[in-house]
Amino acid sequence: MASYFDEHDCEPTNPEEQYRQNALLELARSLMQGLDIDSGAFDLSDWDQRLPPPAAKTAVQTLPVVVISPEQADKGLKCPVCLLEFEEQETVREMPCKHLFHSGCILPWLGKTNSCPLCRLELPTDNPEYEEFKKDKDRRKQRENRLEDLHGAMYT
Ligand SMILES: [Zn+2]
Ligand SMILES: [Zn+2]
């Protein structure tokens, strides 16, 4: 008889990241179905716990519009939000991470939050408070990296 542990020892390499990604796509799809995301339940001061603010309008407006090539259509490339395959000659939006979406799928999403629902790459926002938070997070990260270097240098 297989035990609980036998059945669970083949987990994806990074279950947490996988979970976060699925959760984001889930949210993006719920937008497609016209459901609203309730962001009122989060603590306003803690951006780590909630969706970042909408992408800056200028960033959204300047997202390149690309036309699906026959090769891309042949490969069965899909919009990650609605899971429909792109058709040849269809015009779609390209995020800076090169992920492609229907305008009708990504635009409402970016009106809610600034990151790619697939890989979480962030676009700039119009929210000064959030931009400040992001800078602060980068600074914290740099400090941590420096500490790690220092630690590495001491013990090698
Ligand atoms: Zn779509
Ligand atoms: Zn992406």
Give per-residue pLDDT as tens, 102-111. 999 999 999 9
Query: Residue 115 above 60 pLDDT?
Result: yes
Q: Where are the domains of the chain?
A: 11-125, 127-156
Q: Using the mean position of ligand 2's atoms as its centre, give its distance from the Cα of residue 114 in Å.
A: 11
Q: Using the mean position of ligand 2's atoms as its centre, give its distance from the Cα of residue 30 in Å.
A: 18
- Count CB-CB contacts under 10 A for residue 9: 8
Distance CA 129, CA 125 (A): 10
Return the HEC string of 25-62.
HHHHHHHHCCCCCCCCCCCCCCHHHCCCCCECHHHHHC
Q: Using the mean position of ligand 2's atoms as its centre, give its distance from the Cα of residue 70 in Å.
A: 22
Identity of the amino acid at 61 = Q
Closest by CA to 125, choosing from 117, 133, 94, is 133
Query: Residue 60 above 90 pLDDT?
Result: yes
Average pLDDT, the chain: 85
E strands in 10-152: 65-67, 91-94, 100-101
Is there a contact between 102 and 77 (Cβ–Cβ < 8 Å)?
A: no
Topology (CATH level 3) of domain 11-125 = Herpes Virus-1 (3.30.40)
In angstroms, the first-to-last Cα distance of the chain is 48
Q: Which ligand is nearest to the CA of 85?
A: 1
Residues with CB under 5 A from ligand 1 (ion): 79, 81-82, 102, 105
Query: Residue 7 above 80 pLDDT?
Result: no
| pLDDT value at residue 96 | 97
User: Among 5-9, 18-22, 90-94, 118-122, where is mean pLDDT lowest?
Assistant: 5-9
Query: Residue 38 above 80 pLDDT?
Result: no
Identity of the amino acid at 83 = L
Q: Using the mean position of ligand 1's atoms as its centre, give its distance from the Cα of residue 101 in Å.
A: 6
Q: Using the mean position of ligand 1's atoms as its centre, give its distance from the Cα of residue 93 in Å.
A: 10
Distance CA 61, CA 146 (A): 37
Q: Which ligand is nearest to the CA of 98?
A: 2
Identify the DSSP state of 54: P
